[in-house]
A = this chain, B = another copy of it.
Amino acid sequence: MVHGRAADAAQIDQVRRFNRTVTERVGVLHDHYLGRDRPIGEARLLWEIGERGQDVRRLRERLGLDSGYVSRLLRSLEAEGLVSVEPQPRDRRVRTARLTAAGRAERAVLDGRSNELAGSLLAPLNAAQRDRLVAAMAEVDRLLTAATVTLDAVDPDHPDARHCLRSYSAELQKRFETGFDAALSLLPDPGELRPPHGLFLVARLHGEPVGCAGLKLPPGAPAEIKRMWVAPHARRLGLGRRFLAELEERAARHGRDVLRLDTNKALDAALGLYRSFGFQEVAAFNDEPYAHHWFEKRITGPLQE
């Protein structure tokens, strides 16, 4: 990964101090408030089921727990009358857990305690300190979230890839003045975005696909970025830049020394990103009907001895 250079010692140190303070302060209080009369396993489950219910397999996935264990926890919550579990109508192997009225009440209690906990962290501070703490927390939150996003090369037919591509088309449809009709656009045919003539990256946050980017590697020609998209709720995490860096590195690894792309004028954030990432605007190199701008960047090949 192009970003994966080692952090320096002072940074490591500060992160460790942070971890210590936070696990002490937040961790201790967390258990104190949440686990007051119920094992935290159950409390977490109750929380994760949520107001609208959840499939058992999603619960397992979200909490990272063994299927037998989750099943047992659900039995215990059922016995307390807090939860009911029923087969999903569409696929009767899957079962859906829902909160009963009592379960909802119990969840509200947990909710209240979480608020108490949050309040107790802020309480000893004055208004100015609070503002600064909350702002710094938002920043940490945002950047740690950014750091949990994974980038993987997948086949463009993978369900996560298809999901992103559908969202991509839907968004263009909404944002382009003229709408967007995939049939009119210069779509790379599927083979162009899979090895050996290309690749397709999917970004995932907690397992959910939240962005994609394709790279065409036509033999003997510049590499070309296609269909880069980031889900609205995953924006402002530096994901676009991370895609570009990753694609640039991969293009270089495949021996290309030029990376290019085309884009529509409606995508103003993307235009800014390309420029700040070192792309230069060039003359049209294709006749994509939806493009208004064409960009190119000279990249360094893989290091040689």
Residues of A within 8 A of B (CB): 1, 3-7, 11-19, 21-23, 25-28, 30, 64, 114-115, 117-119, 121-127, 129-130, 132-134, 136-141, 143-150, 238, 241-242, 245
Contact = CB atoms under 8 A, between A and B. Distances in A.
Mostly, the A contact residues are helix
B7 A138 contact: no
Contacts of A23: 26-27, 30
A51 B25 CA distance: 24
Given A23-B27, A114-B16, A138-B14, A143 B129 contact: yes
A21 B123 contact: no
A229 to B, nearest CB: 20
Given A115-B12, A137-B18, A146-B129, A124 B30 contact: no
B121 A15 contact: yes
Number of copies: 2
6 contacts: A14-B134, A15-B137, A16-B114, A21-B144, A133-B140, A136-B136
A115 B8 CA distance: 11
Contacts of A122: 7, 11-12, 15, 147
A130 B27 CA distance: 24
Contacts of A14: 134, 137-138, 141
Given A26-B22, A141-B17, A126 B242 contact: yes
B144 A22 contact: yes
Nearest to A64: B28
Contacts of A242: 124, 126
A118 B21 contact: no
Contacts of A148: 25, 124
Given A16-B118, A23-B30, 7 more contacts: A4-B124, A5-B127, A11-B118, A12-B119, A19-B114, A124-B146, A136-B139
Among A64, A134, A242, find the residue whose CB has the most chain B CB atoms closer than 10 A.
A134
A216 to B, nearest CB: 25
Contacts of A130: 7, 11
Contacts of A17: 137-138, 141
A15 B118 contact: yes
Contacts of A1: 123-124
Contact of A134 (B15, B126, B141): B15
Nearest to A13: B118
